[in-house]
Structure 1
């Protein structure tokens, strides 16, 4: 059996924009439904959710029923233990939150690679290797692994190019919520200073040929960032969409 191809990573390399959505509701049903809708990528988030590590396995299985849709797993932190577990579960793309320096980016790369290039623990019978049936998995795994690092503070933006061009980093995700807080405008992602910083980050990343991405609920801003070179854009979260749509329905009926 050959190494499974990472369609998301291939699309980034080819410059094909990927439209995504955020899964925050624990369990496999919501990510499966989002995959059925036909998004290019679905984030299974464990940072700001109640989703536990063992539940990620079921979500990956649910999304895998739709081979044109890529799963992206966000661990709770830049922790080698979680990185190892999610890779063994078969996640091929990880989004690591709160990367502040090139050294922290390099640490994430190190955690994703097998020795001698990294520190990922070796286990033969995992879902990632199709339970040992993928030929040469341990020598070839990193070919199809994709690492996204999140830059989400004003201090991290000062190191943006260094972080983005760290060997083994495939893309940079700009975190607008934490960025707004670090700039003194907590929760106000639409503040002109925050918007300017985000747009500047996308321009800078394009200049060094590093794919960039974001989550924004503002459709016009999402379109604007695509013109600035966004490679992967998430346009909503399951919980926010549910609350908005149900609230609107209730308002219409009362």
Structure 2
């Protein structure tokens, strides 16, 4: 019996934009609420959220009962971090701060089993295989892995054509805030130089045949990115939505 198909990975091969929400609160309840809201995917942000493996697993389980694919952003490009997350049953992972084709190639190997990769074999005793209930997990898991690499620096943009050429990379995600900071515009995130760099990067990703991704909290900006060809689109964060609603309510009589 093979692993269940990764519907997000399959959908990203089409033309429809897959829309998702960042999860930063560390709450399985907020993950379940988001998943049931109709998002295509929800990203458990272990880079900037208060997450350990148990908290990640709780949110993965909460999302499993919804229609949203669980995506996990690991804190760094480390094989052991990816291995632990994949053993929880995660099939879609985002890795921050990727700046070279060599790094992207190493990540492709990290999410695959030998002979095509270096992922350690422990899923038989983990949630990924249903604790052994999916006997063909190791033979079929590689094909369902969705690898999302983040480009968010000038060095990454310089290496973007080479990164996009790496087989096994599914989505190239532009980190707009870190990119702006690296370009010297930490206090001016919407500087035209940053916006122009993002537009050029999206064009490069599309021309290379990869799926471009980005996040924005602005509805009109999201629509513009979708029209430009972005197919993995983050439209907000549970933390930002809660904070905004709480502040707005405070001013009511």
Q: TM-score, normalised by structure 1?
A: 0.96
Aligned residues: 252
Larger displacement relative to structure 2 (171-180 or 236-245): 236-245
Following TM superposition, where does structure 1 have runs of at least 4 consecutive aligned residues deviating by more than 4 angstroms? Answer: none
- Supply the distance in 1 between the matched residues of 2:187 and 2:209 (Cα, whole angstroms): 30
Indicate if the aligned counterparts of 1:25 and 1:51 stay in contact, CA closer than 8 A: no
- Supply the distance in 2 between the matched residues of 1:180 and 1:195 (Cα, whole angstroms): 9
Displacement, 1:176? 0.4
5 Å-filtered alignment, 1:1-254, equals 1-66=1-66, 68-123=67-122, 124-253=124-253
Q: Which runs of 5+ in 2 are unaligned?
A: none
RMSD: 1.1
Q: TM-score, normalised by structure 2?
A: 0.96
Displacement, 1:187? 4.5
Report the CA distance shift for 1:187/1:170 in structure 2 as closer, same or farther (over 3 A): farther
Indicate if the aligned counterparts of 2:16 and 2:231 stay in contact, CA closer than 8 A: yes
Indicate if the aligned counterparts of 2:20 and 2:39 stay in contact, CA closer than 8 A: yes
Indicate if the aligned counterparts of 1:211 and 1:230 stay in contact, CA closer than 8 A: yes
Helix, strand or coil: the match of 2:58? helix
Indicate if the aligned counterparts of 1:174 and 1:214 stay in contact, CA closer than 8 A: yes
Indicate if the aligned counterparts of 1:27 and 1:51 stay in contact, CA closer than 8 A: no
Displacement, 1:221? 1.1
Q: Which runs of 5+ in 1 are unaligned?
A: none
